[in-house]
Amino acid sequence: MPVGLSQHAVLRTGYIAVIAVLILSAFEAWRIQNSLSAQNLIIYRHYAEQDRALRVLRLNLWQAGNYVRDFLIVSTPSQAAVLHTQLNDLRTEDDRALQLLDRDSGRVAAIPKLRRSLGEFWNVVAAVPQSMLNVSDESKLEFLQREIVPRRGELYNAMLDLAAADQQKLEEGERDFADARRRGGWRLITMLAVGVFLSVFVARASLKHAQTLESRAERHYHELQKLSARLLHVEEEGRRKLSRELHDEIGQALALLQIEISNALATPQPPGARRPLERARELAEQTVQTIRNMALLLRPTLLDDLGLVPALQFQLEDFLRRNPIACDFVEEGVADELPDPARTCAYRVIQEALHNCEKHSGATKVRVVVRQLPDALLAEVEDNGRGFSCDQGMPSRNNGLGLLGIRERAAIAGGTLVVDSAPGRGTRITLRIPLTEVPA
């Protein structure tokens, strides 16, 4: 149907869209995570390198002051050579630290000031091994207080300014990182919201489509049930008419033929004619019995003329004639005039149950109970045969009703059918049909 096809296409498109949004959301979450991790790593790596370079400068400044102080205390040519080597090593380390600061923080205004102050400091201390070798202690103390101490203080201030600038840059990076994480979170939330919206839409469309299919299937089921009931009714009517025709028309005609042959035999016959007449009468009797059996199989006239109990009694008598199975029949308060659907359903269910007992169960005893309650008709058939697994269904003849057929009959009559059986435990079939019109 075009409508069904369009609904299927919409649902298929919706499912694809939901899956696509989920995949894109997962990819976006992965991309945001990688981007934020990389950004966070860059920020803290920059801060760590800046801090390490500043620590090197501070340490070298402190060591240079100590080396100069020690030399001013003990001023010898050998000590001057040692001081010269120590100062050169420290200045080389400071140059490497300044290169690191220039690479990571070239736009920071505090770096030129630091480089200028550091250069002036190293120019002053580089001349100490020669200029302070042979001077008095008062000159050394004056030099230390005039040149070294102020420059060290200026360098410490420049380093503090650079550390403050690095701290400010770290805070700016953290704010940028938080903004990027917030933007990424909003993007991801937006995509997930779209996915949820699509999921709700697809779920509602699926539920609506499922309800449509369910109502359509239920409507078809009711139509098929009505059709099945109609077919069963037509079948029963056909059986009834054919049974009447066989019994009333053909059966009576054969009975009259049998009487005529008997009358003919009662009169003197030519030699050789009596034997053919006797054979014709026997054939007519056999044909009458065959017609009666066929009429009973189609629909016993007792069911319509006398009611359910006489029809079942006749059926059980016929069952006993054909089988060595002991049979008990119990009837409790069943009225002669029952509604035709209930009467026919009970008769057919018991007929099918007895047939399966005869052909498949291997039972030695069967019990049939028919009981009428104020609001229902109960029928029960129980045998002590081999039983079967209820999951596999009750065995039935190829052209018979079977479990499905008698359950369908029970459902059409508004009743219920319960089959209780297990391998080695026999079988019990219980039928309950509600009676809307109970005879007085």
Question: For the segment 381-422, what is each residue's pLDDT rounded down to a tens digit?
Answer: 988 888 887 655 444 444 445 777 788 888 888 888 988 888
Cα(71)–Cα(58) distance, rounded to whole angstroms? Answer: 20
C-beta of residue 410 within 8 angstroms of C-beta of residue 380: no
The pLDDT, as a whole number, for residue 369 is: 92
User: What count of residues does the chain have?
Assistant: 440
Tell me the CATH architecture of domain 2-206: Up-down Bundle (1.20)
What one-letter code names the amino acid at 56?
V
C-beta of residue 395 within 8 angstroms of C-beta of residue 388: yes
The pLDDT confidence band at residue 231, using thresholds 50, 70 and 90, is confident
Cα(360)–Cα(78) distance, rounded to whole angstroms? Answer: 124
> Highest mean pLDDT: which of 67-81, 261-275, 300-314, 371-385?
371-385
Tell me if 2-206 shares its fold with 302-434: no
Averaged confidence pLDDT in the chain: 78
> Highest mean pLDDT: which of 16-25, 30-39, 225-234?
16-25
The pLDDT, as a whole number, for residue 104 is: 58
**SS3 assignment, position 425:** coil
The pLDDT, as a whole number, for residue 236 is: 67
C-beta of residue 372 within 8 angstroms of C-beta of residue 390: no
The pLDDT, as a whole number, for residue 254 is: 73
The pLDDT, as a whole number, for residue 93 is: 85
The pLDDT, as a whole number, for residue 107 is: 47
The pLDDT, as a whole number, for residue 421 is: 83
Matching residue, tokens 């991790």: 37
Query: CA separation (Å) from 274 to 12, 262, 267?
Result: 87, 11, 10
Cα(49)–Cα(389) distance, rounded to whole angstroms? Answer: 81
The pLDDT, as a whole number, for residue 3 is: 47
The pLDDT confidence band at residue 229, using thresholds 50, 70 and 90, is low
Cα(107)–Cα(111) distance, rounded to whole angstroms? Answer: 8
Facing residues of 359 across strands? none
321-366 tens-digit pLDDT: 888 888 888 888 888 788 888 888 888 888 888 888 888 778 888 9
Cα(254)–Cα(246) distance, rounded to whole angstroms? Answer: 10
The pLDDT, as a whole number, for residue 167 is: 75
Tokens at 213, concatenated: 């299919």
The pLDDT confidence band at residue 220, using thresholds 50, 70 and 90, is confident
Look at the alpha carbons of 207, 212, 218, 224 in this order and tell me if their dihedral is positive or negative.
negative
DSSP H stretches of helix in 74-109 = 77-105
The pLDDT, as a whole number, for residue 357 is: 84
Right CATH for 302-434 from 3.30.565.10, 3.90.380.10, 3.40.50.10540, 1.20.1560.10: 3.30.565.10
Cα(373)–Cα(346) distance, rounded to whole angstroms? Answer: 14
On the question of pLDDT at 121 being above 60, the answer is yes
On the question of pLDDT at 367 being above 70, the answer is yes
pTM of this structure: 0.49
Q: No. of H helices and E strands in the chain?
A: 12, 5
330 or 205: which carries more pLDDT confidence? 330
Domain boundaries, the chain: 2-206, 302-434
Cα(318)–Cα(387) distance, rounded to whole angstroms? Answer: 23
122 or 273: which carries more pLDDT confidence? 122
Mean predicted confidence (pLDDT) in 55-68: 83
